[in-house]
Structure 1
Amino acid sequence: MGLSKLDQLYRQVILDHSQHPHHYGKLDESTRTIELNNPTCGDVIQLHFLIEDDRITDIRFSGHGCTISKASASMMTDLMVGKTLEEALQLEKQFSLLVQGEEVQDVEELGDAVLLSGVAKFPARIKCATLSWKALEKALAE
């Protein structure tokens, strides 16, 4: 597959996550909720968690944002269901390094989120891509 076709595939997956986000909405009962915003572009995200026995059993997001922000939140929530809090925080660190252009071991652990690695070329978009992940980090640190 040529590079341009691969880029098109990546773009399509990102668009699909943005237009049809997974885990979008609020939880009826959540054990933790957090809201973060990106004042640079106006993206706002709320994360709603159900945590049982140190494990994320359900996670949802709501709010509004750009394509990158929504796609990243969708990818992140897909990845977090079933993870321990420690595993979730480790994945957040890996993702933050990835979108800053740093080398990441076991990159396949990031699932679809690895497709956002190209954000490293656009520093203004890094905050969009990491908004939901930073909300996750902040909520789990509390």
Structure 2
Amino acid sequence: MSTAENDLYQEVVVEHKRTPRNFGHLTAPTHQAQGTNPQCGDNLSVELDIQNGQVRDIRFSGQGCAICIASASMMSEAVKGHDVQAAQQLQQHFRAVLTGQTEPEETQLGKLVSLAGVRRYPSRIKCALLGWHALMHALAQAPEQDAAPVATALGETR
């Protein structure tokens, strides 16, 4: 990656940390889950409004490092308005890039490609994936399930 590309990607991450998109709470979420990373103290909640198999709205809240918040912000933009299956596939592609199973150029990540450099820092991969783990747990809930958050800890080593 060239220095110019690297600088641009860093700017995207910083911008999403400073002004995260879809940050806050939904009035009546149909699905929600919480993710924590006890190693660094990141803690995020993801709330979804899913209607007819589509992520109509998404919000996230909590606190975390710049990578964690930027990733959750970009995730929320990437899945909002898309169907659940597309969100699940995007999570799989993003995870594969961050864990080194797929090269960034081999998949369509859009702005999320700006986080591909995280793969060079194994301890930060968990930060970038925390919001995505919470999203997947929220999507796995049945719509009529109680609104209590499901906690997910990311203490495992990858």
Name the TM tier (shorter chain).
over 0.9
1:101 aligns with 2:96: no
- How many Å separate the matches in 1 of 2:41 and 2:85? 30
CA contact (8 A) 2:47 2:138 kept: no
Q: Is contact 1:45-1:132 (8 Å) kept?
A: yes
Structure 1 counterpart of 2:152: none
Q: What SS is found at the alignment partner of 2:58?
A: strand
| Cα displacement string for residues 34-57 of structure 1 (whole angstroms, at most 9, x for unaligned residues) | 111001100000001000001100
TM-score (structure 2 length as normaliser): 0.84
Distance 1:42 1:30 in 2: 25
Structure 2 CA distance for aligned equivalents of residues 137 and 29 of structure 1: 19
TM-superposed CA distance for 1:111, in Å, is 1.8
Q: What is the aligned partner in structure 2 of residue 76 from structure 1?
A: 75
% identical equivalent positions: 39
Tell me whether 95-104 or 25-34 shows the greater mean CA deviation. 95-104
Instruction: Give the letter aligned to residue 53 of structure 1.
Output: N
Q: Is the 8 A contact 1:101 1:117 kept in 2?
A: no
Amino acid at match of 2:119: A
Measure, in 1, the Cα distance between the counterparts of 2:101 and 2:72: 20
**Match of residue 40 from structure 2:** 41
Letter in 2 for 1:32: H
Write the deviation string for residues 62-120 of structure 1: whole angstroms up to 9, x where unpaired: 00000000000000000011111111111111110011122257622x22111111111
Q: Which runs of 4+ in 1 moved over 6 A?
A: none
Alignment map for 1:1-142 (pairs within 5 Å): 3-103=2-102, 107-108=107-108, 110-142=109-141
SS in 2 for 1:33: strand
In structure 1, C-alpha distance between the alignment counterparts of 2:65 and 2:86, rounded to whole Å: 27
Distance in 1 between the 2:39 and 2:136 partners? 20
- SS of aligned partner of 2:46: strand
Contact kept, 8 Å, 2:46 with 2:135, in 1: the verdict is yes
For structure 2, list consecutive stretches of 5 or more residues without a partner in the other structure: 142-158
Instruction: Give the AA of the match of 1:17.
Output: H
- Contact kept in structure 2, 1:27 and 1:60, CA below 8 Å: yes
SS class of match (1:47): strand
Equivalent pairs counted in the alignment come to 140
Amino acid at match of 2:98: V
For the 8 Å contact 1:17–1:75, the answer to whether it is kept is: yes
